[in-house]
């Protein structure tokens, strides 16, 4: 937690004071080991970033005087389309993508996505939200990513995807692709990453029909989680 | 498991036949769902990569006829010096670094490394080896990385590190650095990544004295695991 994320209902009052309990209080006590008058990095969810000066710190409550004077870092100009991964991987990918500045993620069905993954409790909004918030706290960001779930591949690709890819560079990660992932692009990107085992040829064809170029990231086959991080680091 | 890793004691005989049981057999049965005459990607630990044609497949044994006719992918020209991370993170970083082609990793003590981490069973050679092998199987590689553990920061930096950095570009990841990580370098690199909370100023100074330039990867603070992947993807 490199930034203490303040939520709208923490009730920052007119004097800029905020009171925290629970997880964030414990983290400040146990990890930051802060003391009165220490200054901690804080940010308001959806808002600015700044400093919180500790006024009171007891096992029951943390009270800070907060000054938010900076904008959060710029979002990545990217939509990430992710074939729904295994639930445990999903958690980590959401946290990682959030920490890297991704602001729109589409979780999509694909042939090689196991049906049971769609029943996972990790897909519930509050569970995904938790990972996204952890990513923001890690990265010192305040802007929550948006997540869309789409359980039907074909209608999504035919009806919604053309609007998403408009004015972007559409790329699909595919280990057997011949082209390498572009480096340090100044364009907005729509990046599709398949399931373990990859998109099937029909799916790659459908994406190609929508303008997607298959690309790879070196000659090694990377796990979903590693591939997402590596591709984002190359692209931007 | 995108490649079935054959070990020297699997006993490839003169006719190029191999018999597998245990984890690899189960994976071929349950995940690959292979059948007789199917061809699977195989590689010999420390050797070549090729095809294994399934001769026999029962719940007790997998017998394949193996032909190894390709070299494994080129290693990354890199030594990764990693302040020992939390045990759970260590496991994933080892697997990931192995899957990305890192061939030399130094696990180093630093001020902000919790002492208890050095007692973790995940640091035992067979436990680390397991993660490295999983990374090779993921990436279709056969060359096992070498791992050194160094529990004393100062003697390592003063006595060993000068030899390691010779003829390489020495970089230390540091979130407050002003310089961005170089992109697509053609040089060999020595990359140091600090603990959560970062190297302390004394440690950064000692590394700088050894020629290391502090670099960052964008303006966000990334977790150890994400930082390692992102930096490798940018560098190579």
Helix (H, G, I), strand (E, B) or coil at B63: strand
Answer yes or no: do A220 and B183 touch at CB < 8 A.
Answer: no
Taking CA atoms, what residue in A is nearest to B141?
A: A220
Distance from CA of A5 to the nearest CA of B (A): 15
- The residue from B70, B88, B120 where one domain ends is B70
Note down the domain range covering B56: 4-70
How many domains does chain B contain in total? 2
> Which of B140, B225, B232 shows the shortest C-beta gap to A221?
B140
The pair of three-digit structure tokens given for residue B195, joined into one six-digit string: 């603990």
pTM of the model: 0.96
Query: Smallest Cβ distance to A138: which of B99, B218, B221?
Result: B221
Q: Are residues B39 and B86 in the same domain?
A: no
Query: Which DSSP state fits A3?
Result: S
The answer to whether residues A112 and A44 belong to one domain is no
**Shared domain check, B158 and B45:** no
Q: Do A28 and A116 reside in the same domain of the chain?
A: no
Neighbours of A139 (CB within 10 A): 26
Mean pLDDT of chain B: 96
Q: What is the pLDDT of residues A43-97, one digit of tens each?
A: 999 999 999 999 999 999 999 999 999 999 999 999 999 999 999 999 999 999 9
Residues B108 and B176 in one domain: yes
The tokens of B221 are what? 């603070």
Q: What is the pLDDT of residues B52-111, one digit of tens each?
A: 999 999 999 999 999 999 999 999 999 999 999 999 999 999 999 999 999 999 999 999
B contacts of A100 (beta carbons < 8 Å): 218, 220, 222, 226, 230
Taking contacts as CB-CB distances below 8 angstroms, the residues of chain B near A73 are 218-220
Q: What is the pLDDT of residue A9?
A: 79
Instruction: Using CA coordinates, name the residue in chain B closest to A92.
Output: B226
- Tell me: do B222 and B126 sit in the same domain: yes
Residues A82 and A58 in one domain: no
Interface of B with A (CB under 8 A): 2, 73, 96, 99-101, 138-141, 183-184, 217-223, 225-226, 229-234, 236
- CA dist., res. B141 & res. B144, Å (int): 8
- Same domain as A95, residue A53: no
Q: Look up residue A158 and give its two tokens.
A: 């035919």
Query: For residue A231, which residues of chain B lie inside 8 Å, CB to CB?
Result: 233
Task: Write down which residue in B70, B91, B121 finishes a domain.
Answer: B70
Query: Which of B141, B217, B226 minimises the CB distance to A220?
Result: B141
Examine the domain organization and report whether B59 and B171 are in the same domain: no
Q: What is the per-residue pLDDT across B113-153, written as a single tens digit (0 to 9) for each?
A: 999 999 999 999 999 999 999 999 999 999 999 999 999 99
From CA A186, how far away is CA A167, in angstroms rounded? 12
| Distances in whole angstroms, Cα of residue A39 to Cα of each of A51, A54, A64, A233 | 6, 6, 9, 31
Which of B221, B228, B235 is the mutation pick for testing A, counting most A CBs within 10 A?
B221
Here the CATH number for the domain that contains residue B11 is 2.40.240.20
Is residue A41 located within the same domain as residue A124? no
Q: State the virtual CA torsion across B71, B73, B78, B83 in degrees, nearest 10.
A: -110
Question: Which of residues A39, A70, A101 is at a domain's end?
Answer: A70
Asked if pLDDT for residue A13 goes beyond 70, the answer is: no
Residue B13 has pLDDT above 70, yes or no: no
For residue B129, the domain's CATH number is: 3.40.1280.10
Q: Are residues A139 and A198 in the same domain?
A: yes
Residues A21 and A130 in one domain: no
Query: Could you tell me if A229 and A100 are in contact, meaning their C-beta atoms sit under 8 angstroms apart?
Result: yes
The H-or-E segment that residue B6 falls in is strand B4-6
- Whether the ipTM is more than 0.90: the answer is yes
Q: Using CB atoms, which residue from B73, B225, B226 is nearest to A220?
A: B73
């Amino acid at each position: 937690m490199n930034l203490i994320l303040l939520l709208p209902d923490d009730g920052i009052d007119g004097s800029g004071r905020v009171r925290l309990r629970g997880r964030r209080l414990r983290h400040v006590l146990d990890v930051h080991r802060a003391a009165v008058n220490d200054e901690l990095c804080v940010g308001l969810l959806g808002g600015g970033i700044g400093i919180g000066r500790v006024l009171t710190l007891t096992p029951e409550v943390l009270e800070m005087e907060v000054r938010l004077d900076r904008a959060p870092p710029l979002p990545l100009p990217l939509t990430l389309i992710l074939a729904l991964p295994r639930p445990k991987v999903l958690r980590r990918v959401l946290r990682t993508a959030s920490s890297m500045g991704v602001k729109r993620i589409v979780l999509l069905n694909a042939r090689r996505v196991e049906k049971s993954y769609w029943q996972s409790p990790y897909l519930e909004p509050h569970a995904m939200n938790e990972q996204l918030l952890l990513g923001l706290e890690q990265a010192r960001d305040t802007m929550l990513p948006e997540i869309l779930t789409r359980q039907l591949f074909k209608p999504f690709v035919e009806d919604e995807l053309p609007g998403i890819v408009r004015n972007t560079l559409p790329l699909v990660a595919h280990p057997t692709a011949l082209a390498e992932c572009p480096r340090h692009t100044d364009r907005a990107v729509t990046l599709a990453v398949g399931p373990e085992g990859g998109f099937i040829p029909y799916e790659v064809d459908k994406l190609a029909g929508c303008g997607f170029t298959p690309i790879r990231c070196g000659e090694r086959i990377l796990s979903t989680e590693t591939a997402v991080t590596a591709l984002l680091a190359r692209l931007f």
